[in-house]
Chain A
């Protein structure tokens, strides 16, 4: 069984469109995350979210918004897509407890904006 799943795996869209990426985890973890990995392979956290608190990386444009219908899901919605949004987006989850920051990553969504 897949622990952290994302859909779609590939997403090709045009500038200006609005798109969503879905993420689900079946690990019972309290915290979920979205990361962006750009063409230089630099992995940067965008959001972390548990049932109490959303932590936003201040460098993330407000065109990006996480939506969490429940503890097992954290979807990423992107408005007015730009060329620079092209990247691989990873969802992850962890059970935050002491040093329990091991993060389990989804397989990634490769977004291409044309």
Chain B
């Protein structure tokens, strides 16, 4: 089983819609979770950390389900500028070598 798994998509979503995608992780001892965003031919950038209680930042909501070992990202009222690849990142050990990136979910917002 892969350490961090995401549906690669692409998810084609009309502008204004709500879209959600999940990321599963295999190490139950994983400590920290993040969503990064990567635009085409650009570097990844932190979108938001994922806290145990769930957290919201504007139109974005992140949830963590430790029992089922997945994190989710919900985007409300999607904008054309939300089109990007969303990378799930899991920290599973001490030090940066425990940081694992998922392969990303490609999101396309259509006008």
Residues of A within 8 A of B (CB): 31, 33, 40-45, 48, 53, 55, 57, 90, 94, 96, 99, 101-103, 105-108
Q: Report if B91 contacts A (CB, 8 A).
A: yes
Cβ of B82 to closest chain A Cβ, rounded Å: 18
Q: Collect the chain A residues with CB atoms within 8 Å of residue B96's CB.
A: 31, 33, 45, 48, 55, 94, 96, 101
Question: Residue-by-residue, is B75-111 near A (CB-CB < 8 Å gives 1, otherwise 0)?
Answer: 0000000000101000100011101110110000000
Residues in chain B near residue A45, CB distance under 8 A: 96-97, 99-101
**Can you list, as one digit per residue, whether each of B10-36 has a CB less than 8 Å from chain A (1) or not (0)?**
000000000000000000000010100
**Is A102 in contact with B49, judged by CB distance below 8 angstroms?**
yes
| Complex contacts, B97 vs chain A, CB 8 Å | 45, 48, 55, 57
In the complex, what distance in Å separates the CA atom of A37 from the CA atom of B85?
13
Q: Which secondary structure characterizes the binding site on chain A? A: loop
Cβ of B102 to closest chain A Cβ, rounded Å: 9
- Give the number of A-B contacts (CB < 8 Å): 52
* A42-B103 in contact given A99-B32, A99-B49, A101-B96 (Cβ < 8 Å): yes
When chains A and B are docked, how far (Å) is the Cα of A53 from the Cα of B97?
12
4 nearest A-B residue pairs (beta carbon): A48-B96, A105-B43, A43-B101, A55-B97
Within 8 Å CB of B95, what residues of A? 48, 53, 55
Q: Does B42 contact A (CB under 8 A)?
A: yes
A48 to B32, CA, bound (A): 18
> Which residues of chain B are near A31, meaning CB under 8 Å?
96
Task: Considering the complex, give the chain A residue whose CB is closest to the CB of B40.
Answer: A41
Q: In the docked arrangement, what's the CA distance between A105 and B36, Å?
A: 11
| Separation of A84 and B103 alpha carbons in the complex (Å) | 19
Question: Taking the complex as formed, is B44 at the interface, i.e. its CB lies under 8 A from any CB of chain A?
Answer: yes
Query: What are 26 A-B contacts with C-beta separation under 8 Å?
Result: A31-B96, A33-B96, A41-B85, A41-B103, A41-B104, A42-B101, A43-B101, A43-B103, A44-B101, A45-B101, A55-B95, A57-B97, A90-B43, A90-B44, A94-B96, A96-B96, A99-B32, A101-B99, A102-B34, A102-B49, A103-B44, A105-B43, A105-B45, A107-B42, A108-B42, A108-B43
